[in-house]
Structure 1
């Protein structure tokens, strides 16, 4: 598994959290009860594991690419970098709004709107990375450079913990009912269903 495979695998874990947020927004707007704690913990996941770990790993890829002569301030690399910043800002806002909802200072709709905005951003960002950026990286980075990037990933993950395990913990803490509609290809059986 090379550095790009690791990032793609992490995208699948992040997508599970996006599905959870999408369900929570839909359920809450439909009149169902959704704890603001879900949004606060999801924001923590986004800031710690997506921004702090996953985006840091992508930052290592950006650095490796710029070392090969691709300018950071132009094209797809610049757009993806800017999206990382926007995602960080939205996640921070989501955390603060969820806390305000818990205190009764804000209405849940504000957290729903922020969560929905983050999900849209992330899905478009992931599509762009996987269809445009990652193939470019594979063309431009030789195997030895890719191995150096992968070694840096291990240090980043050691500092933050496993993104996949954090996604698992969120799903366990806030289970989506088995009857909920999930995106095709992203259905994951909950470990306690069928036992």
Structure 2
């Protein structure tokens, strides 16, 4: 199902583009000026990448086989393909309104931008929440082999290696021309940001009535929790509350005795740990667990063992850009790193798996206060990129301060939930965990 991962990665970039165009519409309405070259580059990117490459691949390969496998899929695919056909027409209208705006008539452009982005976001949501889950259910292994081969064909003239390089160049131009107040991930990028996800959206992870035991000792007692795409969710609690057991159960290392785990629309309760990682659940474990005798780079490569080999160099550079000290010391044994540097390595190793959901288990454990701040700055940066994060922490204040939502775990049960802000200001939590 590599094709679905590719499609989701492309959706993430389209979503960011849609959000940016919405923000630009707000800027225009407020009287700000935006460089004409930004619009020209953004429209070119949408036309060449979405309308010509992305849509064509889906129609010719994924949707064609879905029609063969299920008559019930027909109406939905009809609607999605109609969106694809009409996309170029909508873009032409957008270009026309842009031409009028250059003559001072901006109201039409603002309205067209909002209409276009609403259509785009609705289309992406339908594909992610309806079409892709259905494809997982109805397509055969032979179907996926055919689809994946087409999507990964580097010689394809429409979406091969050369075409992707051109798309990256277009994206870089859009980033460099975006207004400072809007941005598209900053001016230092230039490649498609394959980690960025849409703003908080549909449920990615849903855990219901989860139970897990160590012999006769029940560690998790009917735990319920959910994480939405783009969220940072904190799970806080005292030592022995069951936080690490929960993450181990979630990643498939610890057996579960009851309940269900749904991830990306699929029940993975009986899926092996390695297959959960392939689906996008990647963990930075408690205590770092780096392989001391191996080099730093070899540790990172181990995190990418489920990924296609041709992607590893690109992902290594991304991790090295985030943690320059790892690049500087990449040939040294991982055991020579300080505790803080080993934590960076553990997070980097998890990122090499291209996670849809990043699990961070006690990332501040055993670190000096200054290093704790540095590690959480990394978590904040990943959050800004839109990565979906489940953060397990005993350092409740720091975790809740950056979390969209939080859960409080006590002796294997969720006792309280709310936004990070609500929990920080909850008197019970302040007394029990924040020492206030």
| Unmatched runs of 5 consecutive residues or more in structure 2 | 185-197, 201-229, 231-382, 387-436
Aligned residue pairs total: 185
CA–CA distance in 1 between the matches of 2:183 and 2:84?
33
**Deviation larger for 89-98 or 63-72:** 63-72
State the secondary structure of the residue aligned to 1:121. Answer: helix
| Unmatched runs of 5 consecutive residues or more in structure 1 | 190-195
Aligned twin of 1:177 = 181
**Deviation larger for 44-53 or 151-160:** 151-160
Residue 146 of structure 2 is aligned to residue 142 of structure 1: no
State the secondary structure of the residue aligned to 1:6. Answer: helix
Aligned twin of 1:130 = 128
Aligned twin of 1:66 = 67
Aligned twin of 2:385 = 188
Deviation at 1:179, TM superposition (A): 9.3
CA–CA distance in 1 between the matches of 2:24 and 2:170?
18
Deviation at 1:86, TM superposition (A): 2.8
Aligned twin of 2:252 = none
CA–CA distance in 2 between the matches of 1:29 and 1:97?
14
- Which is bigger in relative contact order (C-alpha 8 A, separation at least 6)? 1
Structure 1 runs of 4+ with >6 Å offset: none
Q: How does 1:35-184 map to 2 (within 5 A)?
A: 35-59=35-59, 60-70=61-71, 74-102=74-102, 104=103, 107-153=105-151, 154=153, 155=156, 156-158=158-160, 160-161=163-164, 163=167, 166-177=170-181, 183=199
Deviation at 1:13, TM superposition (A): 0.8
Q: TM-score, normalised by structure 1?
A: 0.81
1:128-184 residue CA offsets vs partner (Å, 9 max, x unmatched):
11111001111111223222212222323127425566434312221442799x945
Indicate the structure (1 or 2) with the bigger Cα radius of gyration: 2
Cα distance 1:61–1:98, how it changes in 2: closer, same or farther (>3 A)? same
Aligned twin of 1:9 = 9
Cα distance 1:176–1:18, how it changes in 2: closer, same or farther (>3 A)? farther
Cα distance 1:168–1:140, how it changes in 2: closer, same or farther (>3 A)? farther
More strand by share: 2
**Deviation larger for 84-93 or 155-164:** 155-164
Aligned twin of 2:259 = none
Deviation at 1:36, TM superposition (A): 3.4
Q: TM-score, normalised by structure 2?
A: 0.39
More helix by share: 1
Contact 2:70 2:138 in 1 (8 A): no
State the secondary structure of the residue aligned to 1:157. Answer: coil
Contact 1:36 1:99 in 2 (8 A): no
Deviation at 1:55, TM superposition (A): 0.8
Aligned twin of 2:28 = 28
Contact 2:45 2:170 in 1 (8 A): yes
1:38-71 residue CA offsets vs partner (Å, 9 max, x unmatched):
2232221121111111111211211121233537
**Deviation larger for 160-169 or 37-46:** 160-169
State the secondary structure of the residue aligned to 1:34. Answer: coil
**Deviation larger for 87-96 or 131-140:** 87-96
